[in-house]
Structure 1
Amino acid sequence: MTLLDERHVPAPPTTRRHRVAGVLAVAVAVVLLTTALGLQLWLPEVTVAQHWSLAWSGLDIATAATALATAVLLHAADRRAALTASAGAALLLLDAWFDVCTAAGTAYTLAVTEALVLELPLAALAIGLALRLVDPRELRR
């Protein structure tokens, strides 16, 4: 059985704490979407970024850390590898997004190619792994 199996879908949260957390999550989403619209309208199309290489190397180090953590947890047959695999997928998607959005010219072609050949397929594999790990019987296979 997988996460998508209807028989194992958890009941909706019923505690007051869960309801408050749900309302807060919606509020955060509204604020972030409003902020994103504002940024799209008012930020300049081109800017000079300080610490550009640090930002990119930091993203790659974080992505590598999730891959390593996933490998360690898989070696230990620990289902928490689903969490690190999910985080790694999110970082790979972010990496692809920002590579493509910030590149121009030949670098743009390289960014799109890298996204299609490497980052997006790896993110899909990580998501697939995370979904399989939700079912404890999958680790034994």
Structure 2
Amino acid sequence: MPEITDEMLLQLTAAERGQLTARLQALAAADYHPPTRVVRARRWFPRILAACCALLVPWIITLAARLPRHYVAGHWQVVWIGFDVALFGALAWAAWSLWRRQTIAIAATIVAATLLLCDAWFDVTTSAPGSDLAVSLATACLVEIPLAACLVFVSYRVRSVTVSLSRGRVPTYRR
């Protein structure tokens, strides 16, 4: 078999290189046979998660029936400061991974979006009526929820571009 040189590859058009990449990936995928433990995990892990969901339903019902309407919490500052530190870390991770164009940005942006939505939920639902609630609602509606939506969109776009490139295609951008 003759050696394929860089010069030969550079003579191909972008479309031809994309087709070549796709064909090579298809050949590599056909040769890939995951270990038995991976095959088993792919089969069982979703079932374990479904079982967790099934167990969570009665737990939620039990909590709804038994939790007191009013509760004074200990370590309130530690809870909120700790959560905001985690949110800071997630946002920093998302920013870093996007800046560096890392595919881990897909996970980082989803984690940050999730924490933003949790922060909005807990801020609004634990606020005292009046100005505290108004500030929490404004922050949730004007900052946290829109930013979370943007992060989900960015995650989707990074995933789409990554998949396109992995398949040897040029990503498309809608205007």
Partner of 1:33: 57
Instruction: Give TM-score, length-normalised by structure 2.
Output: 0.67
Q: Counterpart of 1:51?
A: 75
In structure 1, the partner of 2:133 is: 108
1:87 has 2:111 as partner: yes
When the two chains are superposed, the root-mean-square deviation of aligned CA atoms in Å is: 2.0
Residue 77 of structure 1: CA displacement? 1.2
Letter in structure 2 aligned against 1:41? A
Instruction: Find the aligned partners of 1:102 and 1:93 in 2 and give their Cα distance.
Output: 14
In the TM superposition, residue 123 of structure 1 has moved relative to its aligned partner by: 0.6
Report the residue type matching 1:98 in the other structure: F
SS in 1 for 2:102: coil
Percent sequence identity over matched residues? 29
Question: Which segments of structure 1 move beyond 3 Å, counting only runs of 4 or more?
Answer: none
Aligned partners of 2:42 and 2:113: how far apart in 1? 26
Give the deviation of 1:50 after TM superposition. Answer: 0.7
Partner of 2:143: 118
CA positional deviation for 1:23: 1.0
Question: Following TM superposition, by how much is the alpha carbon of 1:86 offset from its aligned partner in structure 2, in angstroms?
Answer: 0.4
* Larger Cα-atom Rg: 2
Task: Give a deviation string over 1:16-61, Cα, whole Å, max 9, x none.
Answer: 3222111101011111222111111110011011111111111111
State the distance in 1 between where 2:76 and 2:45 align.
Answer: 35
**Letter matched to residue 72 of structure 1:** W
Q: Count matched residues.
A: 127
TM-score, structure 1 length as denominator? 0.83
2-structure distance, mates of 1:59, 1:129: 23
Q: For structure 1, which runs of at least 5 residues remain unmatched after alignment?
A: 1-13
One-letter amino acid of the counterpart of residue 100, structure 1:
V
Q: Which residue of 2 aligns with 1:20?
A: 44
SS at match of 1:67: helix
The one-letter code matched in structure 2 to 1:51 is H
